[in-house]
Amino acid sequence: MSIFDRAQRSPARMQRLRIGFLAALITAGLLAGCEAAQPPTPTSGETGDETQAESERLAGASGESAMEHALKHLDPKYVCPMHPQIVRDEPGSCPICGMDLVKKMMDPMVGKYPEVALRPAVMQNLGMRIGTVERGTLWKYIRTVGRVEFDETRLAHIHPRADGWIEDLTLRAEGERVAKGQDLAEIYAPAMLSAQVDFLQALEPQPRGVSQVKADKARNLLRLLDIPEDVIREIEKQREPRNRLPIRAPIEGIVTGLKARQGMYVTPETEMFTIADLSRVWVMVDVFEAQIDWLAPGLTAEIRVPARPGKVWDGRVDYLYPELDPETRTLRVRLVFDNPDLALKPNMFADVIIYGGPKRDVLKIPAEAMIVTGERATVVKVVEEGRFQPIDVVAGMERAGEVEILSGLEEGDRIVLSGQFLIDSESSLQASFMRFPTGDASGTDGSEMPGGAHANH
């Protein structure tokens, strides 16, 4: 069995033979170019006219590159980009899909996308729509999901200022609403009782100037023990210490933590009560890394919650946290909202919109016109009537079905809005055919396309 018989049974081997043959042709072309560079020496049997004609022929050949000369000797084939099993010796149309057959040959073009020609009937079958690249305004806004949380600047944690015992506890359960200054409980603390005695002693008549200084120091000690001012005045007026002193709410809000119990012994480390002022709340959101540039403190925001259909709360961006989440690649952002009717409850989920303002005079296209893959963003441009070419673009912000184009297109360019995926695929296949010869030019083994993609669609 000859080497050519064995090669026909193996497309891969046939591929290597063809590449070797092409290399031989290129080498022959290079040698021919070198020989053409030397002027011919007439032999005894040649006439002057024959020598001149041969010199002109060689001079014409020397103007070709080795690749061009070798390509002239290849047998061109025309194939369908979508059905590689359809192979013809001359240009024409695919009997299956109607696309124009493309030449199947090597081409040194790299990094460009070939043009694609479509007949009007094919364009109509694809439902192709054409649009125009325009300049206009895009409104920057971020749509995300957030969670309602306590405003940590409006939380009060109440601890005793001295060791003692809880007496006359007025709160019985968490969730109760309290007013600022309301009595929560009373405490008996020996240190507080001793401070009252010292205060009363300082009020006794003393040498001029000394009495006032001692009294002020004793009064400040009572304040440091968190004894209310009206109680201090009452002690001063009655000249009697009080065994039990009130513990009062420093702010208005909801009791969210209650660890104190009647008769319980407490120390300064004991958190007896936690009160949250819910008249203003935080909403925490996560914003994707690509949208961080749109954010700034003070921007307006609005939220909606499923528990209150149709109601909208207006707020603002309060703070951008300094680092991104390494796993989600998002930035934590804090929003502030007034909540006078307490309709927003901590841990509620909310639909959030952050408005970043307008971006004017931008080049934009409909988002449906752009083909986005993991490596590139492509738009199919109309070169002329019936001819199209994929163009790589650099996209900017996207909003409300429109995309900003930073480079790749110009204002007024016509682009394909629908049906562009098939055109992009055909152009990519044409580029593949131009760069890589297939293993079987006869088309007998057309079950796979370059790269292993199947042709049956």
Specify the pLDDT at position 190.
Answer: 96
The Cα–Cα gap between 3 and 120 comes to 47
232: nearest Cα among 209, 259, 202? 202
Whats the size of the chain, residue-wise? Answer: 457
User: What is the percent of the chain where pLDDT is above 70?
Assistant: 72
β-pairing, 402-407 with 349-366?
antiparallel
Do 190 and 253 fall within a single domain?
A: yes
Do 179 and 147 fall within a single domain?
A: no
Q: What are 11-56's pLDDT values in tens digits?
A: 444 455 455 544 444 444 444 444 444 444 444 444 445 545 444 4
Q: What are 64-101's pLDDT values in tens digits?
A: 554 454 444 445 577 776 776 788 878 888 888 887 88
| CATH number of residue 372's parent domain | 2.40.420.20
Do 161 and 237 fall within a single domain?
A: yes
Do 8 and 100 fall within a single domain?
A: no
Whole-prediction pTM: 0.57
pLDDT for residue 110 is more than 80: no
Specify the pLDDT at position 267.
Answer: 96
> What distance lies between CA 94 and its chain's CA centroid?
42
Q: What are 289-309's pLDDT values in tens digits?
A: 888 888 999 999 999 999 999
Please give the radius of gyration of the chain, using alpha carbons only, rounded to the nearest integer. 43
Helices (H), ranges, 225-309: 229-238
Q: Last residue of a domain, which of 240, 256, 274?
A: 274
Do 163 and 270 fall within a single domain?
A: yes
pLDDT for residue 410 is more than 70: yes
Domain residues for 130? 116-138+361-421
Q: What are 354-391's pLDDT values in tens digits?
A: 998 888 889 999 999 988 877 788 899 999 888 888 88
Do 338 and 286 fall within a single domain?
A: yes
Which one-letter DSSP state was computed for residue 448? Answer: B
Contacts with 23 (C-beta within 8 Å, 6 or more apart), sequence order? none
**Across 401-407, average pLDDT:** 90
**Across 314-322, average pLDDT:** 96
The two counts, helices (H) then strands (E), for the chain are 9, 25
Do 39 and 61 fall within a single domain?
A: yes
Domain count within the chain: 5
348: nearest Cα among 392, 313, 316? 313
| CATH number of residue 325's parent domain | 2.40.30.170
The Cα–Cα gap between 242 and 231 comes to 9
Q: The dihedral of CA 151, 153, 158, 159: what is its sign?
A: positive
Burial class (CB in 10 A: 0-12, 13-18, 19+), 70: buried
147: nearest Cα among 344, 431, 9, 386? 344
- The secondary element (H helix, E strand) that includes residue 155 is strand 155-158
Specify the pLDDT at position 294.
Answer: 85
Q: Answer whether 247's CB lies under 8 Å from 167's CB.
A: no
Q: Which two tokens stand for residue 426?
A: 């055909």
Do 368 and 311 fall within a single domain?
A: no
Specify the range with the lowest mean pLDDT, choosing from 120-134, 332-346, 393-407, 438-452.
Answer: 438-452
Neighbours of 247 (CB within 10 A): 25
Q: The dihedral of CA 309, 313, 319, 320: what is its sign?
A: positive
Do 251 and 308 fall within a single domain?
A: no
Which amino acid makes up residue 15?
Answer: Q
Do 145 and 293 fall within a single domain?
A: yes
**Interior angle at CA 40, CA 39 and CA 46, nearest 5:** 150
Q: Which two tokens stand for residue 122?
A: 């094919």
Specify the pLDDT at position 433.
Answer: 57
User: What is the percent of the chain where pLDDT is above 90?
Assistant: 47
Supply the mean pLDDT for the chain. 79
Do 160 and 270 fall within a single domain?
A: yes
Specify the pLDDT at position 209.
Answer: 59
pLDDT for residue 8 is more than 50: no
Specify the pLDDT at position 425.
Answer: 75
Do 267 and 160 fall within a single domain?
A: yes
